[in-house]
A and B are shown apart, each in its own frame.
Chain A
Amino acid sequence: MKGSRVGAIVLRILYLYRGSPARVFPIFVFVAVDIILWGFLTRYLNSVARADFNFVPALLGAVLLWDFLTRVMQQITMALFEDVWSRNFLNFFAAPLRTSEYLAGLLIISVITSCLSLVAMLAFARLAFGLSFLTYGVALAPFLMVLFLTGIALGITASALVLRLGPASEWLIWPIPMLISPFAGVFYPIAVLPKWMQAIAMFLPPSYVFEGMRAVVAGNPPPWDRLALGGGLALLYLVAACKFFFLVHRMVIRTGLIARYSAETVT
């Protein structure tokens, strides 16, 4: 892997962000809108619910963490879409760029932008609604890491689907986190789900994160063994997602799809 080639992929996206407030805006504004919406909802729930339960960490914290996962996935896919929209695949893949270098570039961009989003979310939740994740200290890091790995795996899988199915497939890609969320127990314990949904939840790393966070908010110690299981699953999915992307990339080179990518749907 060559640093300059990975750097080129990163630099291309940074140039786009530098020259385009429309791209920078969503990093901060959409997350702020989510925090405001859910922040006031939790305040209202606190005012009508029993006094010994605090909805702020339970609901607003869940929104914040789920937004983080969604951002990680979307930033990887968005970086790929920049090449789709500018019909740049031929220029990139006819260069000495390796598939792993391209993926590494997308990943670095995702790390940078989603970390910026996270900092903005944390600051906004603290200032507006008094939710401070800092009180959980470094114990929060493994939770974020599992979500981060899952977001990357989802982003790479979605990118591979776009590469295979063409630009029109973006409408299949964006709802992916929404499809997962009911099974992941973002806002409620997995135990309230019917058995078949619980069975699916077992295979979703975020379900271990949100169950764990609810335990911590309730004053219990973090369930490290369950979190480790979630982390292991996330790593497994990440490896599978990378393999899937390599496979699809190989296929689009074999069939020549990548050279005909200006068409909206490639078959």
Chain B
Amino acid sequence: MSDTSGEMNRLSPPAVLRVERLAKSFGDLQAVDAISFHVAPGEIVGLVGPNGAGKTTTINMILGVLEPSAGRIEIEGVDLAADRSRALASTNFAAVYAPLPGNLTVEQNLRVFAMLYSVSNISARIERLLGVYDLARYRRTKAGLLSSGEQTRLSLAKAMLNHPRLLLLDEPTASIDPSNAREIRAGIAKFVDSGHCGVLWTSHNMYEVQAVCDRVLFLSHGRIVLEGDPKTLPDEHGAATLDDLFVNVAQEALNGRAVR
């Protein structure tokens, strides 16, 4: 098994995240069904699909908070199951359903998480991120008192604390206005352009996916049913927009038909 995996790594392009035949079942329900994909450095990969498709289950497994039923996750070449702590040291995430503790201030939150991720030169890093995410004036404000948009910016600042090699973003712009969302997308794209980091990005906003993702994975019933460049995929599959393609794919998967 490990020989095969090692062989695959030698033949495959470099990846910050490599997922092989990942599966998770809850009783009779197959939430994620033997999916394989990778995220390369400098690449933003969109993970899209209808509610209940298995996106968050997949992200939770990559974050090490949910044990897979089968399969393998490698982050920066480190097997998550074998050395969880080392694999997660080069990872970070932001998700709308995981706000930072509301009873700590912005600065306190960043300091605590900087220590958790063993960030060096913590004060300088916090100052830099407070500036980048326009949070400097809220440094002594409790996170729970921030607007949802400001909380999202704080979650993103926390996600950037350790210069992650793998960034997992679960609907990162879901609760912010279009202008802020555009700024945030641009900021992340710029960060990724440096080639240092790969991003796995889930969203229900197909405009956003088309704007930022280099590659998109359509997930339905726990399987990857379609994969490709979000800019060319609609044409290739006879859909007017990515939105239309999303609806078609979801309905075809629901009806049990093969996706073209």
- A and B together in one complex: yes
| Given A90-B98, A96-B86, A12 and B67 contact (CB-CB distance below 8 Å) | no
Contact between A253 and B64, CB atoms less than 8 A apart: yes
Please report the total number of B residues contacting A with Cβ < 8 Å: 34
Contact between B67 and A253, CB atoms less than 8 A apart: yes
Contact between B67 and A15, CB atoms less than 8 A apart: no
Beta-carbon nearest neighbor of A12 in chain B = B112
Determine the distance from Cα of A254 to Cα of B95 in the docked complex, in whole angstroms.
21
Contact between B111 and A94, CB atoms less than 8 A apart: no
Contact between A259 and B102, CB atoms less than 8 A apart: no
Contact between B88 and A96, CB atoms less than 8 A apart: yes
**Which residues of chain A have C-beta atoms less than 8 A from B19's C-beta?**
none
Determine the distance from Cα of A92 to Cα of B88 in the docked complex, in whole angstroms.
11
Contact between A91 and B113, CB atoms less than 8 A apart: yes
The segment from B115-123, B183-191, B230-238 found at the interface with A is B115-123
| Chain A 75-89 per-residue mask, 1 if CB under 8 angstroms from chain B, else 0 | 000000011001110
A53-110 residues at the B interface, CB under 8 angstroms: 82-83, 86-88, 90-98
A4 interfacial by beta-carbon distance below 8 Å: yes
Determine the distance from Cα of A86 to Cα of B101 in the docked complex, in whole angstroms.
5
Determine the distance from Cα of A7 to Cα of B101 in the docked complex, in whole angstroms.
17
| Chain B 5-39 per-residue mask, 1 if CB under 8 angstroms from chain A, else 0 | 00000000000000000000010000000000000
Contact between B118 and A91, CB atoms less than 8 A apart: no
Q: How large is the interface on A (under 10, 10 to 19, 20 to 34, 35 or more residues)?
A: 20 to 34
B147 interfacial by beta-carbon distance below 8 Å: no
| Given A15-B104, A90-B98, A96-B118, A254 and B113 contact (CB-CB distance below 8 Å) | no
| Given A86-B101, A98-B85, A11 and B111 contact (CB-CB distance below 8 Å) | yes
Q: Which of A4, A15, A86, A90 contacts B65 (CB 8 A)?
A: A90
Q: How far is the CB of B216 from chain A (nearest CB, A)?
A: 24
Contact between A94 and B88, CB atoms less than 8 A apart: yes
Determine the distance from Cα of A7 to Cα of B112 in the docked complex, in whole angstroms.
8
A200 interfacial by beta-carbon distance below 8 Å: no
Contact between A2 and B118, CB atoms less than 8 A apart: yes
A219 interfacial by beta-carbon distance below 8 Å: no
Determine the distance from Cα of A15 to Cα of B86 in the docked complex, in whole angstroms.
27
Determine the distance from Cα of A98 to Cα of B85 in the docked complex, in whole angstroms.
7
**Which residues of chain A have C-beta atoms less than 8 A from B66's C-beta?**
253-254, 256, 258-259
Q: Which of B65, B95, B105, B118 contacts A256 (CB 8 A)?
A: B65
**Which residues of chain B have C-beta atoms less than 8 A from A19's C-beta?**
103, 105
Beta-carbon nearest neighbor of B67 in chain A = A254
Contact between A91 and B64, CB atoms less than 8 A apart: no
**Which residues of chain B have C-beta atoms less than 8 A from A88's C-beta?**
100-101
| Chain B 86-102 per-residue mask, 1 if CB under 8 angstroms from chain A, else 0 | 10110001010111111
Contact between A259 and B112, CB atoms less than 8 A apart: no
A8 interfacial by beta-carbon distance below 8 Å: yes
Beta-carbon nearest neighbor of A2 in chain B = B118
Contact between B65 and A93, CB atoms less than 8 A apart: yes
Determine the distance from Cα of A126 to Cα of B151 in the docked complex, in whole angstroms.
49
Determine the distance from Cα of A14 to Cα of B156 in the docked complex, in whole angstroms.
24
Determine the distance from Cα of A70 to Cα of B86 in the docked complex, in whole angstroms.
37
**Which residues of chain A have C-beta atoms less than 8 A from B89's C-beta?**
96
Contact between B116 and A92, CB atoms less than 8 A apart: yes
Q: How far is the CB of B171 from chain A (nearest CB, A)?
A: 14
| Chain A 239-255 per-residue mask, 1 if CB under 8 angstroms from chain B, else 0 | 00000000000000110
Determine the distance from Cα of A163 to Cα of B102 in the docked complex, in whole angstroms.
21
Residues of A within 8 A of B (CB): 2, 4-5, 7-8, 11-12, 15-16, 19-20, 82-83, 86-88, 90-98, 253-254, 256, 258-259, 262
Residues of B within 8 A of A (CB): 26, 56-57, 60, 63-67, 84-86, 88-89, 93, 95, 97-105, 108, 111-113, 115-118, 158
14 contacting pairs across A/B (C-beta < 8 A): A2-B118, A4-B116, A5-B118, A8-B112, A11-B115, A12-B108, A82-B103, A86-B101, A88-B101, A94-B98, A96-B88, A96-B116, A254-B67, A256-B57
Given A90-B97, A91-B100, 19 other A-B residues pairs in contact with their CB atoms under 8 A:
A4-B115, A5-B118, A8-B113, A11-B112, A11-B115, A12-B104, A16-B104, A19-B103, A92-B116, A94-B64, A94-B65, A94-B93, A94-B98, A95-B88, A96-B86, A96-B117, A253-B66, A256-B66, A259-B66
